[in-house]
Amino acid sequence: MEEIREEKVLYSAVQPSGSLTIGNYIGAIRNWVELQSRFTCFYAIADMHAITVRQEPALLRRRTLELAALYIACGVDPEKCTLYVQSNVPAHAELAWVLNTVTYVGEMERMTQFKDKSAKHAENVNMGLMDYPVLMAADILLYQAHLVPVGIDQRQHLEITRDIAIRFNNRYGETFRVPEAYILKEGAKITSLQDPLHKMSKSDENPNASVYLSDDKDTIMRKFKRAVTDSDNRIVASEEKPGVTNLLNIYASFKGCSVPEAEKTFEGKGYGDFKLAVGETVADALAPIQAEQKRLLADKGYLAGVLKKGAETASYTARKTLSKVFRKVGFYRGD
């Protein structure tokens, strides 16, 4: 097995549940492409996390492959990073069990995401839902990650990961690297097209609120035509105009220009022309990604090979950490 590069390790993962939005692309995937050339990156498709909410098995398998193809279509290069499916590396579940023994119930009950998901899925408040942050800690600590890209909604999970690592190290001796948050370069905050005071979400119940990377051009144009703006017809970014500001952010992000430059482009134009231009820009940018994803999905053998190689590389690194953990806690290994 070929050793991975000895440099700072960065870990990130996304669940294959639901379609990714243009917000996910701008805030995460596009950054992954840049980071893979700077760090030793482990990028996981977090299917184990996905089943904390009920999934249709066949659909979960399909979405796992679709997500792998989408990453590659967006520029994630399996030759520059380790791209793998979380459940293909058993060490994730094995380490999570050990970490459970240094994690307290009260900590898990206080997690914001547990409270939010419990409210949304009251009929299925399972232990996996509560234990989600411990599995996330295992994901990160297995690879001795230096850095974890985080958004505001994930900072609490990284903090509990750090607490668990420090607690384990104090109890059993130096074992885990305590990871740091990697603050992504400031990018546009992409919000809902229907409620611009809230972020664009892949689980939004309003079909017009989010633009998905899988949307065809007609769907994209329809959603942008229906996007919320305001009664003032000026196309400028300001706190008083969250809908217009969101559309300017989206346009600038996909056009590769600044928001002030975008404002100048639309100076004197009406909202109708503005929305059409934003929709056209997004659709034109997504078309080649969608075409490449479709091509990759037609080559199941290639995708299977990429994910198999990724799982082997991830397993090699993960087993080294897990072996150390098993020794520290006193598990008999027969050697």
Catalytic residue among 199, 223, 241, 275: 199
Distance of alpha carbon 193 from alpha carbon 206, whole angstroms: 10
Tokens representing residue 301 in the block = 């053998």
Question: Is 185 an active-site residue?
Answer: no
Question: Do residues 59 and 27 lie in contact, with contact meaning Cβ atoms separated by under 8 Å?
Answer: no
Angstrom distance (rounded) from CA 257 to CA 29: 19
Token pair of 150, please? 């985080």
Cβ atoms of residues 174 and 167 within 8 Å: no
| Residue whose structure tokens are 């100048």 | 264
Could you confirm whether 300 is annotated as catalytic? no
Catalytic residue among 80, 202, 225, 324: 202
What are the φ and ψ backbone dihedral angles of 161, each rounded to 5 degrees? -60, -45
Q: What is the CA radius of gyration of the chain?
A: 21
Q: Which residue is catalytic, options 117, 223, 241, 275?
A: 117
Contact 262, 248 (CB under 8 A): yes
- 320 catalytic, yes or no? no
Q: Of 81, 99, 79, 65, which Cα lies nearest the Cα of 172?
A: 99
- Residues with a known catalytic role: 117, 199, 202
